A and B are shown apart, each in its own frame.
Chain A
Amino acid sequence: MAEAVLFYLFAAGVLAGGSQVVLRRNPIYGAVSLVGCFFFLAGIYVLLSAHLIAILQVLVYAGAVMVLFVFVIMLLNLKEEELGELRFTFWKVVGLVAVLATAAVIAWRALGPAYPSTGPARDNAILLAAEGFGGVKAVGRTLYLAAVLPFELTSLLLLVAIVAAVVVAKGKI
């Protein structure tokens, strides 16, 4: 019961923070909302017994990555008039309705049966969680044994991102 209350609390926080990131006109407010969103997300990870991921979420995302974001926003130093006017166009309204309708259909039809609050699936998950799940050792074993290919590929991806950033940031060729 307490778990469910906490989940809805954190979920509401994530949604509120996430929507603020999109809706706020000033990027600094958006960045700060994103920090809040990350903290609530870390709470949800704790509820899922993923303790290590929760800590990394706060340390890496809410800490290191966000500092870089804020630095970049400060360096760009956008003025109010550079942000442009807020306009409601026909297609924006259509998009909003489509998004809300899709979210409603998914919430109504799909999520209920897929995530049962009782039954064998849930018991099974709790059983799995008992065995040091979510700790450094379990995450490490998963990362280096079961998920070794995606793990190594991520390093390739980061290298490509660095080279691509250098190419784009370099002077004109």
Chain B
Amino acid sequence: MNFNPGDLYGVLPALLLAAGALVLLTSEVFLRPVEPDRRYQAWVAAAFAFAGLWASLAQLGDPAQPLFAGAAVSDGFAHIVAAVVCAALFLSCIVAFSYLESLRATRGEFYALALFSASGMCLLAQATDLVVIFISLEVMSLAVYALCAYLRRGKRPAEAAFKYFILGSFASAIFLYGAAFAFGASGSTRLADLAATVRSGSATTLVYASAALLAAGFAFKVAAVPFHMWVPDVYDGAPAPVTGFMAAGVKAAAFATLVRILVSGYGEGGRWRGLIVALAYLTMLVGNLLAVPQRSVKRMLAYSSIAHAGYLLVAVAAMGTSAPRADAAGALLFYLASYGATVIGAFAVVAIIERKLALSGLGDDLSSWAGLSEKHPALAAAMSLFMISLAGVPPTAGFMAKLTVFRSAIEADLVPLAIFGVITSVAGLYYYLRVVVYVYMVPEAKADAVQGGRLLSAGLAIAGCALIVLWMGVLPGSFAALAQSGAAVFGR
């Protein structure tokens, strides 16, 4: 049980991201306290995020192996999640650059915290020990809480961050309680030992209580109903680039860990499936219903994020059956990647609009989107593409992702759940297309163009997201193959 330095290679993406954060924090010390000096930071952060992406993709072909005496694992599933997180961070850094520059809010801590939280996410995807999961979860969450409170202009951001912090701590406590029960049942914090206890069939009540509590803790992080109360306020109050990163990164890491705990820890028997199925029904229904009356695009996207958590839970539920588990895991990974690309793009457009609103002191309302197509046809087209992808219309990534998830649910004998998912996503068309209607068909009340320069970098990020969304929608083959290779660790 000695320390093996080779294990550090297995957590290379997380190490790279943490190193990037340290470089940014240290470099800040040597700077004059003026704004233009700090422009390099977004690009340094993006470079480290890209390095993390490269490292996780480079490790993809390696055989799965346990690290640090079984506390973590280096396998395809974790590498794909790490790649999604790093790509999300890369795009978010570029979006944040123009956003923070125009609001004169560039500080080193912003990118450092984003890098720290991404390193927590990468470790979360690799962790196979409840203690490591808890600490990585806190690394990720603490950094994200602070990012939400980063821009405190007006009342809403502070309220959002505080709400997120209090409720998030509560969810962490619930997770910890479940972890204590799991330790009580199995005498170990390793998921493998927990699986052995579950297989032996002793201490059943304790096992079920721990499974329910651990799932509840992560249901909060993935924004599943009834643990969704924080989502609209936090998504609305946080700066738009942060919201995009949260929606893509936190969701990917939390879903990966939820799957890891349920399948690797409580896999045998799959008695947890009923719980996840119930959560999926509730989440799809409530998320889509509450999104309908929203006038603020950010709040609408928040409820849409809840609804998408429901579709992802369908894939998780499909992993609890005897049907080929790897298919469902592959569908989950594909969905996480496509949702990440779409939502970061959508929030990048929101960031441009929000910046205009912040500079002119207006509130976020659909009417501020009216007539966007006349002044900025490219932005309007991109936003429409992202909305169509979120709604799940071909030929976009969202359609292919929903298709694979529902197909895996049908293979797993969850036909009613798949039908319910299709019906709710059709209902979702209404509120997604309403944005498109405002962008293209509603004339603008009074003319004021999007102010401020530096649209170029945000535009690049939006173009990148749009490219990925179209690519995954039209030619999903290579992405699906990648997701399947990552999902192979869950066997059969």
Q: Which residues of A contact B (CB under 8 A)?
A: 105-106, 109-111, 113-115, 144-150, 153-154, 156-157, 159-161, 163-168, 172-173
- Say how far A100's CB is from chain B's closest CB, in angstroms: 15
Query: Which residues in window 124-154 of B have CB below 8 A to A?
Result: 129, 131-132, 135-136, 138-139, 142-143, 145-146, 149-153
- Asked if A149 and B67 sit within 8 Å, CB to CB, the answer is yes
Question: Are the CB atoms of B149 and A168 closer together than 8 Å?
Answer: yes
| Residue contact B142 to A161, C-beta cutoff 8 Å | yes
* B132 / chain A contacts, CB cutoff of 8 Å: 149-150, 153
Smallest beta-carbon distance B134→chain A, Å: 8
| CB contact between A163 and one of B112, B131, B181 (< 8 Å): that residue | B112
> Smallest Cβ distance from A113 to chain B, in angstroms?
6
| Given A163-B146, A164-B142: A150 in contact with B129 (beta carbons within 8 A) | yes
- B304 is an interface residue with CB less than 8 A from chain A: no
* A111: min CB distance to chain B, Å: 8
Contact A157 B109 (CB under 8 A): no
For this complex, 5 residue pairs linking A to B, each with C-beta atoms less than 8 Å apart, are A159-B116, A163-B25, A163-B116, A164-B145, A167-B150
| B138–A157 CB distance below 8 A | yes
Cβ distance A59 to chain B, nearest Cβ, rounded Å: 22
B206 lies within 8 A of A160 (CB): no
Give B142-172 interface residues, CB cut-off 8 Å to A.
142-143, 145-146, 149-153, 161
Most buried by B among A147, A149, A154, A168: A149
Is B67 a contact of A114 with CB atoms below 8 Å? no
A113 touches B71 (CB 8 A): no
- Among candidates B146, B185, B206, residue contacting A167 with C-beta atoms closer than 8 Å: B146
* A166 close to B1 (CB less than 8 A): no
Q: What is the total of A-B residue contacts with beta carbons within 8 Å?
A: 99
What is the chain B residue whose CB lies nearest that of A172?
B152
Contacts of B138 in A (CB 8 A): 157
Contact in complex: B142, A113 (CB < 8 Å): no
How would residues 263 to 275 of chain B score, 1 for a CB under 8 Å from any chain A CB and 0 otherwise?
0000000000000
Q: Does B2 contact A (CB under 8 A)?
A: yes
Determine the distance from Cα of A94 to Cα of B207 in the docked complex, in whole angstroms.
Answer: 26
Instruction: Let me know if A157 and B135 touch, CB within 8 A.
Output: yes
Q: Which residues of B contact A149 (CB under 8 A)?
A: 67-68, 71-72, 129, 132
Taking the nearest CB of chain A, how far is it from the CB of B189, in angstroms? Answer: 9
Contact of A153 among B139, B152, B153 (CB under 8 A): B139
Tell me, yes or no, whether B205 is within 8 Å of chain A by CB: yes
Given contacts A157-B142, A167-B110, A173-B107, 6 further A-B contacts (CB under 8 A): A110-B203, A113-B203, A149-B67, A163-B112, A167-B150, A173-B151
Q: Are B142 and A160 in contact (CB under 8 A)?
A: yes
Nearest to B154 among chain A residues (CB) is A172
Contacts of B3 in A (CB 8 A): 144-145, 148
**Do A166 and B109 have beta carbons less than 8 Å apart?**
yes
Give every chain B residue within 8 A of A165 (Cβ-Cβ). Answer: 146
Interface residues of B in 83-137 (CB under 8 A from A): 105, 107, 109-110, 112-113, 116-117, 119-120, 123, 129, 131-132, 135-136
B139 adjacent to A168 (CB under 8 Å): no
Q: A115-B184, A146-B69, A157-B135 are in contact. Are A167 and B123 (CB under 8 A)?
A: no
CB–CB B136/A153 < 8 A: yes
Given contacts A163-B112, A166-B109, contact A109 B205 (CB under 8 A): yes
Asked whether any CB of chain A lies closer than 8 Å to the CB of B209, the reply is: yes
Min CB distance A108 to B, Å, is 9
Residues of chain A within 8 A (CB-CB) of B181 are 106, 110
Q: Flag if B116 contacts A156 (CB, 8 Å).
A: yes
Q: Given that A109-B205, A146-B1, A148-B3 are known contacts, is A167 also in contact with B109, CB under 8 Å in the complex?
A: yes
Interchain CB contact under 8 A, B25 and A150 = no
State the CA gap A147–B110 with chains docked (Å): 31
The minimal Cβ–Cβ distance linking B268 to chain A, given in whole angstroms, is 19
Could you say which residues of chain B place their CB within 8 Å of the CB of A168? 146, 149, 161
Q: Are B153 and A106 in contact (CB under 8 A)?
A: no
